[in-house]
Amino acid sequence: MPPETRYAKSDGLNIAYQVVGQGLPDLVYVPGWVSHVELAWELPDLARGFQRLASFSRLILFDKRGTGMSDPVPPDDLPMLEQRMDDVRAVMDAVGSERAAIFGASEGGNMSMLFAATYPERTTALATFGSTAKRVYSSDYPWAPTPEGRQRAFDEVERMWTTGLDWEDIAPSLDRPALEEISRYYRRCASPGAAVALMKMNTLVDVRDVLPTIQAPAVVMHRTDDRDANVDEGRYIASRIAGARFVEFAGADHSWWTQDREAIVDEIESLVTGVRPASEPDRVLATVLFADVVGSTERLRELGDQRWTRVLERFHATVRRELERFRGTEVDSAGDGFLAVFDGPARAIRCALELRDEVRRLDLELRVGVHTGECERLGDKYAGIAVHTGARVASLAGGGEIVVSSTVRDLVSGSGIAFEDRGEHELKGLGPRRVFSVA
């Protein structure tokens, strides 16, 4: 019998989850494209995989927003990786899990990578299978499909979702009845519109810059002839995560549970149960936001000391109110400038937009810079190259402008935030960097 399905609240949405087993380490399974926590137990091979994972862990299963038993989302409101991380945190909080190993399969892998980098204090280990770092071709990532190829895939899924979508590329080792069983499962996981919307979201993902910041022990697994994700993508991911082990399995199935399931779970068990408790991490992937008032010296001269002091007090109160609203943390403030950190770049940008508008009511103009990168955490302070990069990016902004690094632009794909290319700039002491302004 499947375990009981419960719900956790995440951004007002109900996220369905189940808990299986009572092992000492917690293990969160992040599914691929679409899932259904109850119907998954009707697939015998997948159910055996879950049972084996639960034999050495407390296994936490969930449906991503928009799929399975979790609340739906409008097809034109694509869930970002940032929101999906919120779903994982909400489920972990609901079951009282402070730290867990994360196992991400297929597109669940890139979200797992971002989670491990952003929340090192909550991630004991990271395992991925058949995952990618990017889903659209570029000269420095040649294994991904072209935009035209992805569009053909969107059209095919929507046209043939219920009438004969070919699942052989997912699990070519299976016979026809088993493939039809998987086809029925996927059709009940999501509507055609939701399935295509999630594919489009995945197409926008690019976590390459995140990989070097992952600190958790990691194993990256891939099949040699995977038809959906090239094995070289797995090698690329493993080569950029410090200390990660790459394990290659023979075969062509993209689904982890249909070939060599026991050997794959062996790798996960070895990783999860063999990890020693980690010390409190002093490095974390964070989004830094720098902002300062444009023309503050002129305003001081115009208003005088007393009136300018009152304006600054209102300015600081406005900043702190908006930081609390968008889950930002104040790191430093001096006069008319401040530094804050966020656990997601989209939240940082939206906070910056609100701040810009609110500060204008004080007859002030802000310039803002946003960057995401690995920071050194020194108590309540943050330091490192990412902080310096954020400051340099902010220096490129004009009055009322929000300028972001290319890393931020890549990570918020699918958020609906539009950007204008500001070109490549030489950042003092840091080399050239492409930046964008928020449109």
Task: Look up tokens 């340099």; give the residue.
Answer: 392
Instruction: Give per-residue pLDDT as tens, 303-329.
Output: 788 887 888 888 889 999 999 999 899
- Give the pLDDT of residue 77: 72
What does the block give as tokens for 74?
């409008």
Q: How many residues does the chain have?
A: 439
Instruction: Give per-residue pLDDT as tens, 53-66.
Output: 999 999 999 999 98
What separation in angstroms does the CA of 157 have from each of 40, 86, 190, 195, 341? 21, 28, 12, 8, 39
Instruction: Give per-residue pLDDT as tens, 98-157.
Output: 999 999 999 999 999 999 999 999 999 999 999 999 999 999 999 999 999 999 988 888
- Give the pLDDT of residue 275: 63
What confidence tier does 380 reach under pLDDT thresholds 50, 70, 90?
confident
- Give the pLDDT of residue 389: 92
SS3 category, 328: coil
Instruction: Give per-residue pLDDT as tens, 151-184.
Output: 998 888 888 877 666 677 788 998 888 888 888 8
DSSP string over 116-159 = HHH-GGGEEEEEEES--SBSS-BTTBTTSPPHHHHHHHHHHHHH
**Hey, what domains does the chain have and what are their CATH numbers?**
6-273 (3.40.50.1820), 283-438 (3.30.70.1230)
Q: At residue 215, does pLDDT exceed 70?
A: yes
- Give the pLDDT of residue 393: 93
Could you tell me if 408 and 289 are in contact, meaning their C-beta atoms sit under 8 angstroms apart?
no
Q: Of 22 and 78, which is predicted with more confidence?
A: 22
What does the block give as tokens for 93?
């909080």
- Give the pLDDT of residue 359: 87
Q: Report the amino acid identity of residue 86.
A: D
C-alpha torsion angle, residues 382, 385, 388, 390 (rounded to 10): -80
What confidence tier does 11 reach under pLDDT thresholds 50, 70, 90?
confident
Give the whole-number percent of the chain exceeding pLDDT 70: 96
Question: What is the rounded average pLDDT of the residues 282-309?
Answer: 84
Give the whole-number percent of the chain exceeding pLDDT 90: 57
- Give the pLDDT of residue 281: 63
Looking at the DSSP bridge assignments, the partners of residue 17 are: 6, 62
Question: What is the rounded average pLDDT of the residues 349-373?
Answer: 91
- Give the pLDDT of residue 279: 54
Question: What is the rounded average pLDDT of the residues 15-22?
Answer: 94
- Give the pLDDT of residue 58: 95
What separation in angstroms does the CA of 213 have from each of 28, 123, 135? 20, 13, 20
- Of residues 130, 305, 342, the one with CA closest to residue 233: 130
